[in-house]
Structure 1
Amino acid sequence: MRGTDARAGTAGEVFWVFLRLGLTSFGGPVAHLGYFRDALVQRRRWLTDAAYADIVALCQFLPGPASSQVGMALGLRRAGIAGMLAAWVAFTMPSAVVLVAFAFGVATWGDLDGAGWLLGLKAAAVAVVAQAVLGMAKSLTPDAPRATIAAAGMIVVLLVPSTWVQVAVIVAGGLVGLACLRAPQAEADDVLAFPLSRRTGAVCLGLFALLLAGLPVLAALTGDPTVGLVDLFYRAGSLVFGGGHVVLPLLESETVTTGLVGHDTFLAGYGAAQAVPGPLFTFAGFLGASTTVGPTGLVGAALALLAIFLPAALLVLGVLPFWDRLRRVRPARNALLGINAVVVGILAAALYDPVFTQGVTSAAALALAVAVFIAQTRWKVPAWAAVIGAGVIGQIVL
């Protein structure tokens, strides 16, 4: 790939890069995409902005935790299936460990809403996402038609906040790109290949569907609480678009309403989940460790975590072997121009709500967000250092 580091990496390299991201990526899935872009596109040049945008666009279509799926895809591309597993474990482990520990009462943080360090981290997330949106806009919306598509997508998502509306906007962006935009011919070195065969992809897609249809039947026939727990979290990971916050109502109805987890316990865990880096889907580990029926503790946490992330992994493995060939077809490339532009608009909408609305709650928080933005864009301070610094400053002044 022109201008990027296309050599094969190792699973160990992927693990340490994503462990740093897992320890410092606060702010939710949109912020995670900003951290990924800063670490892997800008700093390490593992892939181009356009290739990264294509992966993000694809994962926006798939159900499950979008940022985790992007991380899995990046790990897979860098170091194969071992790299994909390393990326998932490293990015997921920090928040999962903290939340499971919290479920056991090891970590007692009290009321997190007014914690200064948490307010500082949310302010830093505003700067990270702003940098990502501006950088992607520069490369993906360089002309009037694509800038208009991005603006239209942002307006629709802001005015009609719904996960299904986001999916519809992405589809509309693809249709507009197909009809109105003209992509240049794909260059020979513009390759987004993954070390998987299409047969492997088809098997993974089949397994995804089999588990989605078969686990509820097996749970009903056996009445086994372990199968029921796996079914609950597998369905949650399979049927939800939009990431962590969208899965919460489903998890609440499946755990609190059924008596698996108490309402106060659920709320306490949700509060803790807001304060940890990494994917919000690791909240499943807290719930699995807190269940009152069936497997609980460490066993329940492990089953819940594996079950809720397994659909994401199967979909990534199933779709990516077909993705490079599809994206190189001229009509598909035209559609991708529109999709990538509208994704920029969706990210810009998310920059406002929830990232800005939750991260800038005072003049001091705005000042801190601006300081982090300048530190990253002008002084080239690494994102992880800027985030940690923002947390320390937030504890002092917010």
Structure 2
Amino acid sequence: MSQTLVVVGQGYVGLPMALRAAEVGLKVHGLDTNSRTVAALNAGVSHIDDVSDADLAAGLANGYEATADPACIENADVVVVCVPTPLAPEGGPDLRPVEVAAQAIGEHLSPDTLVILESTTYPGTTEEIFAPLVTRGRFEVGSDVFIAFSPERIDPGNKTFGVRNTPKVVGGMTPECTHRAREFYGLFIDTVVEARGAKEAEMAKLLENTFRHVNIALVNEMLRFSQELDIDLWDAIDCAETKPFGFMAFRPGPGVGGHCIPVDPSYLSHRVKAKLGYAFRMVELAEEINHAAPDYVASRVWSLLNDHGKAVNGAKVLLLGVTYKPDIADCRESPADPLAGRLLSWGADLSYHDPFVPRWSPRGADAELTSVTDLEAAVASADVVVLLQPHAQYDLDRLAAVGSPLLDTRGVIDQTEAVQRL
């Protein structure tokens, strides 16, 4: 297979895709602006959870190579952009990484190249911002060069679905752009789905994550009054889930985290307000509820301590699992951070344990914290333990048996006198 691929951005999205493409015989350049990341990758050292050093070694043997030189784009048949789009202060995506990548592509682009944007953004970005920077007025889209959008669907830590077997949506600026993008992804992905165009593909990504965001907010809101009404919401959800149609189970927790759910719906809300002049109220309400979830956890910690005759000020509070989801090392937008900040502001003596995060600098901490080494001893000495992420390494029954007051924010431990659910 003679195609040459350049993947711009070698993070959680770009690196797994680059290695999968190399696996089927493409010549792959992983382009990244971080020279230390490039050096580590070429030395066989991975920096993300879903790619082991062994996986990377196999990719290097298959012809993958990391580089910081954008000149590699000149010989590319396909360029895929997987750079981050963090939330800007005004609420929309910070498109500077996308713009920098597009400008670099435009400077080195050759005719007949397929260019695909995967970075999550609002509908219209591919056509209005990305494509003009890529073409620079030198090429016509659909005949000289081919531009499409394909939303990334990486789920860090997912052992079932990865690059190969997660269906890929593609939407081009012209039908020929869509066709070429579909043919490209079909080389190494099992199922490729054509969208009507780039804007529909962009909207599909935001719809997926807004759906989750809103439904998580629904159960987080229901949790508050269910606790007051002495209703076990987790049991109610388990019962509702037995319905074979018309229901999808979402469960409450300490808040939302990661690179998608807390961020992506805001892009759509910002776009609607900026373009149409009115609010996307469903998203704004979901954001309000989910952003308040860590404070609700803090209030439950306060209540639990109060029930045991102790004040938060000076109390030993142990957090278990500070990543945004189980069994990964990713702390991006983790609800553990604002929770820690609230507890520290109340004077709590805060500690934590996480097998994936040896050191942590939460909001409000005077210095970097270190994960406790003797977990059972830390649980036994804590005034309250808060389970945030049920990592597989945790023996939850054993931790619960220690007898220290434990607040289970995930509903995974049977309730006892010592264990309370959120």
Q: Do they fold alike, i.e. is TM over 0.5?
A: no
More strand, by proportion: 2
Q: Which has the larger radius of gyration?
A: 2
TM-score grouping bracket, smaller chain normalisation? under 0.3
Q: Give the TM-score, by structure 1 length.
A: 0.25
